[in-house]
């Protein structure tokens, strides 16, 4: 008989095992203690400032919520942060050899936890469920916003109404032809109209713009276009509200200064970009000057600085007041009020609010006699925005504006730059040359800092933007904006004509600079979609470079360099498939992108070109010698990874006999269709038909590595992502 009982260990053996366990535990404790001691010494030596890092931890919690899949993971991350904070606080209550480490862990964990909870609760409170399906309906609605866009020959209406199927209240954004706009079609108007409504569109391809996420946090359930005329049941108010004042100011500026300069001037004065011509938008973007068109740090700072200096100069003319009141405090109050008014007038967008908050903090620092430009000031402004609008963290506007400010502060607070800019006994010419060189260096540093963000979001980066900004920023700040303000002031007396003429000439120079820079060879660098991990490495390296002091900050170069190598060596997609299966892009066959359909939609074309990382006009697949196309199908053969890949793509919705389709599928490695294909269609590798694409979203396929990236992979269970309910859950393209 065989016994299943475990053999008994002799007493001496038990002592040996016990001693070994104690020894392993002692060694582990020693190693942990040495690591903790090294971190403690590092924090003391490097001048660790918790303020900026608390904001980084807050942003890390928000980013974790976006990256993690769903409630289980969000709760787990929150629980782990709570455990770390509790253990650290317990250590702080006793006698610990690591006070800096314990304090840092406790506060950073609490900030991380707060970030997760803030964005989670914000999503639950403001998130609007998208429309279940496209619908054409006639309904009554109340206008809450009227946004003129004369450059696109339309007016954008934001209305509240009820969903046709469920009668739940929803907010909808509609496009209306400019000719159909009426005087009574203003905020507060009750209207009746017919419109085609669509759920907010998810990303067309992996890495492309996610409008569904933006709409979720904006409370939009649908977008659409008005069909026919709009019946005004109750006219809107023409009262002197901020929106009416903004529209009136924009119209006045465009009336005084026509053409492209007038549309740019209107953007500077009121934040209204609707009249800017598309070709001017493209030129400003490709030249690295598009930040001048959105009311943000540059504009708000210029307005507040002008108000502050003017108040100081005028108040010093009153000796009685100057002897009894601290003039910097009064001037700071005036500047803050003017900045807040300008922010409200220009629409109070998140970048403008961020800039206003930062500028007000600078004014407070000046009034108190403190250093106005510091990382703590930037951290407080960022935390203010993130606590109110945590979703702003995912927007390129937030990332670019704060990255630019952080780069400026880091550069100007470094010891070599401080020594370079230190006052000395030099002539005005040498001082001017030194400051001009510093302005150029600042532009170059900002351009390098913003390049990963531009590549991640827009898949492009300007090469000459730093040099263009050296001219454009002083031109805008010290000439164009003051002339526009002077012209508006003189218009009160009806004598603003000369100032408007000068402002127009300065803006013509700005536009000429933008078009010339954008037209230079190699002005724009395009790259395929960047992986989230690569972007995270850039962010981590940049923050480390900026926020530490001394030579230790150079460690941040390693993740940034690693990310650069990974981005440059990572293969781009060979095949791009849109989420509806109608549009296919093929790369690697010459210098042009091959497309299945020659789409008239600029949005579709730009998405395919950008995500492919290519330039030029796409070439229809039917005109490529490596493809055979009929009215119903296209067959293409690609050579990748040492073998041939055969693609079969549908072009029409005409019925095809099942036997013929099955035979064609058997000869193909990849089948792509904008309709549901029968089960008898069995390609050798991937079947991506309408049924599967509803579930996965768009695809980016790498043939040599035999890898697939889907839109669904980055969405998780967030409220704005709604895969088809009839497919039984998320899945990848069907592999045979």
In a domain, 312, yes or no: yes
Please report whether residue 14 resides in a domain: no
Same domain, 106 and 175: no
Q: Please check whether residues 213 and 108 belong to one and the same domain.
A: no
382 and 299 co-located in one domain: yes
Dist. CA 243–CA 104, nearest whole Å: 45
pLDDT of the residue at 221: 92
Please give the pLDDT value at position 215.
93
User: Is-contact 124 216, C-beta < 8 A?
Assistant: no
Residue 649, pLDDT score: 93
Is residue 12 in a domain? no
- In a domain? residue 478: yes
What's the CATH code of the domain at 160? 2.40.50
302: in domain: yes
- Angle at the Cα of 702 from the Cα atoms of 701 and 706, rounded to 5 degrees: 100
Question: Structure pTM?
Answer: 0.83
In a domain, 712, yes or no: yes
Give average pLDDT by consecutive 10-residue segment, the chain, 736 residues. 48 52 50 62 67 91 94 94 86 66 85 95 92 89 87 88 87 90 84 92 90 92 90 77 73 86 85 82 82 67 77 79 74 79 70 71 70 77 89 87 84 79 70 76 81 86 76 83 86 86 91 89 80 92 86 87 90 90 87 82 80 82 88 90 90 83 92 91 92 91 90 89 50 51
Instruction: Identify the domain boundary among 220, 238, 256.
Output: 238
Q: What is the C-alpha separation between 543 and 306, in angstroms, rounded?
A: 32
Tell whether 384 and 426 lie within a shared domain: yes
Provide the domain count of the chain.
5
Q: Answer yes or no: are the C-beta atoms of 696 and 733 closer than 8 Å.
A: yes
706 within 8 A of 199, measured Cβ to Cβ: no
Q: Please, what is the Cα angle at 257 between 255 and 263, to 5 degrees?
A: 90
- Write phi, then psi, for 30 (nearest 5 degrees): -65, -45
Tell me if 149 is assigned to some domain: yes
What are the phi and psi torsion angles at 258 (to 5°)? -80, 175
626 & 676 share domain: yes
User: For residue 431, what pLDDT is reported?
Assistant: 73
- In this structure, the answer to whether residues 588 and 495 fall within a common structural domain is no
Instruction: Kindly state whether residues 327 and 440 are assigned to the same domain.
Output: yes
Same domain, 103 and 140: no
Which residue reads 């608390």 in tokens? 54
- Do 723 and 133 touch, CB atoms closer than 8 A? no
Residue 653 domain flag? yes
Specify whether 354 is located in the same domain as 474. yes
Nearest to 667 by CA among 651, 647, 653, 650: 647
Of 194, 211, 238, which residue sits at a domain end? 238
Inter-residue contact 88 to 105 (CB < 8 Å): yes
> Of 493, 526, 559, which closes a domain?
526
Residues 69 and 180 in one domain: no
Q: Does an H or E element contain 320, and which?
A: helix 319-324
Pull the structure tokens for residue 64.
Answer: 């974790």
Rg (alpha carbons) of the chain, rounded to whole number: 30
313 and 447 co-located in one domain: yes
pLDDT at position 14 is: 53
Residue 272 and residue 201 in one domain? no
Residue 347 DSSP class = T
Residue 413 is part of which domain span? 247-526
Question: What is the model's pLDDT at position 260?
Answer: 86
Per-residue pLDDT at 72 = 93
């Amino acid at each position: 008989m065989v016994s299943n009982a475990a053999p008994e260990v002799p007493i001496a053996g038990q002592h040996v095992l016990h001693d070994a366990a104690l020894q392993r535990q002692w060694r582990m404790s020693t190693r942990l203690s040495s690591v903790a001691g090294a971190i403690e010494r590092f924090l003391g030596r490097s001048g660790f400032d918790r303020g900026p890092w608390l904001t980084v931890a807050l942003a890390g919690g928000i980013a974790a919520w976006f990256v993690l899949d769903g409630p289980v993971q969000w709760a787990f991350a929150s629980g782990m942060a709570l455990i770390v904070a509790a253990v650290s606080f317990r250590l702080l209550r006793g006698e610990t050899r690591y006070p800096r480490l314990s304090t840092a862990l406790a506060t950073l964990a609490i900030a991380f936890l707060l970030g997760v909870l803030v964005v989670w609760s914000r999503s639950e409170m403001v998130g609007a469920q998208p429309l279940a399906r496209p619908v054409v309906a006639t309904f009554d609605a109340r206008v809450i916003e009227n946004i003129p866009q004369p450059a696109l020959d339309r007016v954008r209406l934001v209305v509240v109404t009820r969903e046709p199927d469920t009668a739940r209240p929803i907010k909808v954004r509609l496009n209306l032809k400019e000719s159909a706009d009426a005087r009574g079609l203003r905020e507060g108007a009750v209207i009746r109209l017919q419109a085609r409504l669509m759920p907010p569109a998810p990303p067309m391809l992996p890495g492309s713009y996610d409008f569904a996420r933006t709409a979720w946090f904006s409370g939009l359930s649908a977008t659409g276009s008005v069909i026919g005329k709009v019946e005004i049941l109750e006219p809107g108010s023409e009262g002197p509200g901020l929106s009416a004042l903004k529209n009136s100011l924009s119209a006045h500026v465009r009336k005084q200064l026509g053409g492209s300069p007038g549309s740019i001037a209107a953007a500077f004065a009121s934040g209204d970009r609707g009249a800017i011509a598309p070709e001017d938008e493209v030129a400003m973007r490709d030249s690295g000057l598009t930040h001048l068109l959105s009311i943000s740090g540059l504009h708000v700072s210029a307005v507040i600085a002008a108000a502050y200096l003017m108040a100081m100069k005028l108040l010093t003319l009153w000796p009685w007041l100057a002897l009894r009141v601290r003039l910097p405090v009064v001037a700071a109050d005036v500047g803050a009020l003017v900045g807040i008014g300008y922010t409200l007038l220009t629409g109070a967008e998140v970048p403008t609010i961020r800039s206003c908050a930062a500028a007000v903090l600078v004014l407070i620092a000046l009034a108190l006699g403190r250093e106005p430009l510091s990382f703590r000031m930037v951290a407080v402004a960022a935390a203010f925005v993130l606590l109110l609008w945590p979703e702003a963290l995912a927007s390129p506007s937030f990332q670019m504006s704060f990255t630019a400010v952080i780069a400026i502060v880091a550069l100007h607070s470094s010891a070599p730059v401080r020594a370079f800019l230190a006052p000395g006994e030099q002539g005005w010419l040498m001082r001017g040359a030194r400051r001009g060189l510093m302005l150029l260096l600042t532009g170059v540093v900002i351009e390098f800092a913003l390049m990963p963000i531009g590549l991640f979001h827009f898949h492009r980066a300007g090469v000459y933007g730093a040099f263009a900004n050296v001219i454009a920023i002083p031109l805008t700040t010290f000439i164009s904006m003051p002339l526009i303000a002077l012209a508006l002031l003189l218009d009160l007396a009806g004598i603003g004509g000369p100032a408007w003429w000068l402002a127009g000439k300065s803006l013509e120079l700005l536009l000429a600079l933008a078009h010339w820079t954008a037209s230079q060879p190699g002005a724009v660098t395009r790259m395929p979609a960047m992986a989230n991990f690569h972007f995270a490495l850039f962010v981590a390296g940049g923050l480390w470079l900026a926020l530490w002091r001394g030579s230790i900050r150079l460690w941040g170069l390693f993740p940034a360099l690693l990310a650069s190598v990974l981005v440059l060596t990572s293969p781009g997609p060979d095949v791009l498939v849109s989420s509806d299966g109608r549009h296919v892009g093929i790369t690697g066959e010459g210098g042009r992108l091959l497309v299945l359909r020659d789409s008239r939609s600029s949005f579709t074309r730009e998405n395919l070109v950008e995500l492919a990382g290519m330039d030029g006009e796409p070439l229809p697949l039917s005109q490529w010698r490596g493809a055979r196309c009929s009215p119903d199908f296209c067959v293409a053969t690609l050579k990748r990874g040492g073998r041939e890949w055969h693609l079969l793509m549908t072009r029409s919705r005409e019925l095809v006999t099942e036997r013929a389709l099955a035979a064609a599928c058997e000869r193909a490695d990849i089948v792509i269709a904008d309709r549901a294909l029968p089960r008898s269609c069995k390609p050798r590798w991937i079947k991506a038909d309408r049924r599967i694409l509803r579930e996965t979203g768009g695809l980016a396929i790498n043939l040599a590595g035999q890898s697939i990236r889907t839109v669904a992979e980055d969405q998780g269970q967030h409220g704005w992502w709604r895969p088809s309910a009839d497919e039984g859950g998320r899945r990848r393209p069907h592999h045979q």
